[in-house]
Amino acid sequence: MLENLTGLLMSIKITDLIDIVIVAFLLYKMFGFIRETRAQQLFRGILLIVAIFIISEVFNLSLLNWLMTRFITVGLIAVVILFQPEIRRALEQIGRRGVLRSQFVDIDKESAYATVHMLVDAVDDFSSSKTGALIAIERETMLNDIIETGVVVDSEISVRLLGNLFYEGSPLHDGAVIIRGDRIYAASCVLPLTSRTSIGKNLGTRHRAGVGLSEVSDAFVIIVSEETGAISVAVNGVLRRFLDLKTLEKMLLDIYIPSGENNDILSRILKGGKRREG
């Protein structure tokens, strides 16, 4: 027994170890992705079908084996159709690894801090006045198809402009505002709605649209409820509700300035109180 084990260990090559490590890493990432999406229930069903197929092979159950073979063939096509958003998001996440944040690399740190400060001020106003708002910050996934559903604004970010866009009497108040870098790029954009029911039956179209966009892109979506004024954020299909302004500010800073450097600039900006644009 010991000799067989020694012989097995001696036969393992470096390439075999590399192969095992790569496969283990891919499986780990796949399981992590499955836990974050509705594919978790699907994966359990697949395991059950595979188990039945193996049983039919082992015990030579011809009819069951034939049925499982046909079912798996059709099932693979159905999985691609039903879970197209999840598959798309997974491939986009793989493609984004190591890619520069092109929307933010040309923004100097002081402008980035000022942009974050204005966004937080605007959200604070919306929350206090219970003004419904839906703001999507574009990151690596370009939102051109979403922008085409709205009106191109391409203007500098200001608290007053955001307030005017989401004012109930404004012709552009319905839909989402798209932020590209440090500019308001489009308004009144239509976002895809999530089909998930797990986010809460009491949430309306605005929250479902925010989650829906975050499922098919890496956009950072800010949602303000017009009923309660509660602040929520949707990222990668996950909705975080009832955020305070400090938490929102930290999340925005991580997007615009991932290194977290030059906090002295932020301190200088915040010392002046809220920034109000005339």
Residues 149 and 245 in one domain: yes
Of 32, 66, 96, at which residue does a domain stop?
Answer: 96
- pLDDT of res. 5: 64
Highest averaged pLDDT of the listed ranges 23-37, 45-59, 87-101, 156-170? 156-170
- pLDDT of res. 90: 67
Residues 125 and 263 in one domain: yes
Of 75, 96, 117, at which residue does a domain stop?
Answer: 96
- Are residues 253 and 116 in contact, defined by beta-carbon separation less than 8 angstroms? yes
pLDDT in tens, 242-265: 999 999 999 999 999 876 454 444
Residues 212 and 77 in one domain: no
pLDDT in tens, 215-233: 888 899 999 999 999 999 9
Chain Cα centroid distance, residue 129: 28
* Residue 220 forms part of a structural domain: yes
Residues 90 and 171 in one domain: no
The angle that helices 84-96 and 62-82 make with each other, rounded to 10 degrees, is: 70
* Residue 103 forms part of a structural domain: no
Number of structural domains, the chain?
Answer: 2
Bigger pLDDT: 206 vs 98: 206
Task: Please name the residues in contact with 242: beta carbons below 8 A apart, sequence gap of 6 or more.
Answer: 230, 231, 232
Q: Tell me which residue range forms the domain holding 191.
A: 109-271
* Residue 101 forms part of a structural domain: no
pTM: 0.67
Other residues' Cβ atoms within 10 Å of the Cβ of residue 3: 7
Of 72, 96, 120, at which residue does a domain stop?
Answer: 96
* Residue 278 forms part of a structural domain: no
CATH number for the domain that contains residue 126: 3.40.1700.10
- pLDDT of res. 15: 87
Amino acid at 229: G
d(CA 168, CA 34): 40
Average pLDDT (74-97) is 69
Q: Is the pLDDT of residue 3 over 90?
A: no
- pLDDT of res. 102: 52
Residues 122 and 248 in one domain: yes
